[in-house]
Amino acid sequence: MAWAAGILRASKRVSAAGVDLRDLSIALRPSRVLRVPLSRAWWSVTPTSTMSTLKGELIQHFSSEEPILHTKVSIIGTGSVGMACAFSIIAKGLTDELALVDSNEEKMKGETMDLQHGSVFMKMPNIVCSKDFHVTANSEVVVITAGARQAKDETRLNLVQRNVAIFKVMIASIVKHSPHCKLIVVSNPVDILTYVTWKLSGFPKNRIIGSGCNLDTARFRYMLGERLGIHSESCHGWVLGEHGDSSVPVWSGVNIAGVPLKELNSAIGTSKDPEQWGNVHKEVIASAYKIIKMKGYTSWAIGLSVADIAESILKNLRKIHPVSTKIKGLYGIKEEVFLSVPCILGENGISDIIKVRLSPTEEAQMVKSAETLWEIQKGIKF
């Protein structure tokens, strides 16, 4: 009887989420998704009461389990970046369930199985995958790493327009299955695609987070540390604005143990600086191109940086991250563009923005980035 009830609950959960795991996904330890003990779940076709099996001989059913709510993160795109995000999120133990989606089914299944097989060595969450977005149902956080790659000689607007077509389908499916999730956009051009995601999702701005300059800032702090012989965690500084080439290093705020470097070298970050500290930021910009030239893509640092963002949301840490958000109204920006500023991240996504005082040059750089982005955004056909 308890066995029958177990199956019933399992099917109920399956239909409530609209997911038939048997057809749509590979699941590791499905008992954890459904919160039904292995011996009671739908794949246990033979009741131990009528036929003697090894499992029946080994395991005595003790009590029925009710399905309960648990943390779920979904990652769209199981390429280099998506899988680095997945691994980093698992390594930090941030979620009970991880759902992976990709249009390339073979790659997605291969990646999923490969991860699952590491379960003996690390406390793996339940990992499910499918081409169908059903598998993402009831996610707290959804990370978007899928999208079209820039073709040779393709304009940025053309790339964005191709991504809009992909995002239209993707975002509608995510929203349908996880209407209360926080969306972390990683796909490039990240600031524009964060805007596109905001437009398409209809979500309030606090639940749309672009990974933005979180990675640029991490690289900046690492490179400062390299030059000073100090661990990156103790090197404080922020790279804001547009992710990539036109990002803005805020030299006025760079400090070690509260000592502003600008007080020691007033020309820091400018061309007049005899020590040329500005090269640190130039290296930050160049590093993505260098890594791509050497290994074909970047993955580990962006994966770790996304896990850091997800951690602040899932644990309601209220930590500050330089992530891409709707910046209209700040620094005199009038358009609906998304740029990175320090944001307080918690269970509702972005709750507050830190009003960083920028120098006139830095502010002008922000405004210029906003104008460049708007030039592209206003040409987008939704």
Ligand X SMILES: NC(=O)c1ccc[n+]([C@@H]2O[C@H](COP(=O)([O-])OP(=O)(O)OC[C@H]3O[C@@H](n4cnc5c(N)ncnc54)[C@H](O)[C@@H]3O)[C@@H](O)[C@H]2O)c1
Q: Which of residues 226-265 bind ligand X (CB under 6 A)?
A: 243
Binding-site member from 30, 125, 147, 241 for ligand X (CB under 6 A): 147
Task: Output 145 or 287, the one with its CB closest to ligand X.
Answer: 145
Task: Output 48 or 188, the one with its CB closest to ligand X.
Answer: 188
Binding-site member from 98, 190, 323, 376 for ligand X (CB under 6 A): 190
Q: Which of residues 59-78 bind ligand X (CB under 6 A)?
A: 76-78
Structure tokens at 132: 């169908």
User: Considering only CA atoms, which of 61, 90, 73, 72 is closest in space to residue 34?
Assistant: 72
243: annotated active-site residue: yes
In the complex, least distance from residue 90 CB atom to ligand X, rounded to whole angstroms: 17
Structure tokens at 344: 């307080």
Using Cβ positions, the residue closest to ligand X within the complex turns out to be 79
322 binds ligand X (CB under 6 A): no
In the complex, least distance from residue 102 CB atom to ligand X, rounded to whole angstroms: 4
User: Considering only CA atoms, which of 368, 351, 311 is closest in space to residue 91?
Assistant: 311
Task: Output 136 or 188, the one with its CB closest to ligand X.
Answer: 188
- Under rule CB under 6 A, how many of the chain's residues touch ligand X? 28
Binding-site member from 7, 26, 137, 166 for ligand X (CB under 6 A): 166
298 binds ligand X (CB under 6 A): yes
Q: Which of residues 6-45 bind ligand X (CB under 6 A)?
A: none
351: left (phi over 0), alpha (psi -120 to 50) or beta: alpha
In the complex, least distance from residue 62 CB atom to ligand X, rounded to whole angstroms: 41
Which range of residues in 144-152, 246-254, 326-334, 356-364 is near ligand X by CB under 6 A?
A: 144-152
Q: Which of residues 90-109 bind ligand X (CB under 6 A)?
A: 101-104, 107
- One of 134, 177, 236, 243 is an active-site residue; which one? 243
Q: 239: which strand partners? A: 249
In the complex, least distance from residue 117 CB atom to ligand X, rounded to whole angstroms: 20
User: Considering only CA atoms, which of 27, 37, 33, 38 is closest in space to residue 13?
Assistant: 33
111 binds ligand X (CB under 6 A): no
Structure tokens at 42: 């739908």
Angle (CA) 98-27-123 rounded to 5° is 55
Exposed/middle/buried for 215, CB within 10 Å: 0-12, 13-18, 19+? Answer: buried
Binding mask 196-215 for ligand X (x = CB under 6 A): ---------------x---x
88 binds ligand X (CB under 6 A): no
User: Which positions are annotated as active-site residues?
Assistant: 243
Applying CB under 6 A, which residues contact ligand X?
76-82, 101-104, 107, 145-147, 149, 166, 170, 186-188, 190, 211, 215, 243, 297-298, 302
